[in-house]
Every structure is written in C-alpha cells, then in structure tokens.
C-alpha cells in the first residue's frame, strides 16, 4: 500500500515491475491521470489500474495527489522475481 498525502508529489523507485490498483483519490502518475471511479459501467475504460515496467520502476515514477483534502491510496503488487521479496 502506498499513500500520498493531499497536494504532495513523490517519486517512487522499485527494483521490479509491478501492477497498481487505485483505492482512493485522484492525481497523476507520470503522464497518466489516475483516479478511483465511483461507478464503472460495462465496457467503460477507467484510470484505476496500471502496469509499471521494470525500467520505469527503477528510474522512478512521479506520483502527484491532486486533492487538497483526500489522500491518494494505491495497492502495488509484485511478482515472485522481485529482488526485494523476502520469504
């Protein structure tokens, strides 16, 4: 889980590729808009799920919370080849 506070921008670096699902809030991740939809209709595209390549993860991904009041919350999920994985 990653939380970015209202109005903040962070750059996150990781050692491996990952998927990301938005749980709360809206803002930007790199050049992409990210947001948590209140309602998803059949066939509608959303901005709440993304895949970050290993190259982008290692370079760092800038995440901006556009809200002045609410946190931006996302869940990141990594595969078993992540070198930071400790079993």
Q: What is the pLDDT, as a whole number, of residue 85?
A: 79
* CB of 48 closer than 8 Å to CB of 35: yes
Q: What is the pLDDT, as a whole number, of residue 4?
A: 98
Average pLDDT, the chain: 94
User: Exposed, middle or buried: residue 29 (CB in 10 Å: 0-12, 13-18, 19+)?
Assistant: buried
Residue 42 is encoded by which pair of tokens? 């059949």
3-class secondary structure, 58: helix
Higher pLDDT, 64 or 84: 64
- Read off the pLDDT of residues 22-58 as tens digits, 9 standing for 90 and up: 999 999 999 999 999 988 899 999 999 999 999 999 9
Q: Thinking of the domain 2-78, which architecture would CATH place it in? A: Sandwich (2.60)
Q: How far is CA 26 from the centre of its chain?
A: 10
């Amino acid at each position: 889980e990653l939380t970015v506070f209202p109005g903040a921008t962070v750059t996150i670096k990781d050692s491996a590729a990952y998927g990301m699902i938005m749980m709360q809030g809206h803002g930007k991740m790199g050049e992409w808009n990210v947001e948590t939809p209140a309602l998803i209709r059949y066939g509608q595209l959303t901005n709440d799920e993304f895949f970050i390549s290993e190259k982008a993860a290692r370079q760092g991904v800038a995440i901006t919370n556009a809200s002045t009041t609410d946190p931006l919350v996302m869940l990141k999920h990594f595969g078993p080849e992540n070198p930071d994985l400790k079993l």
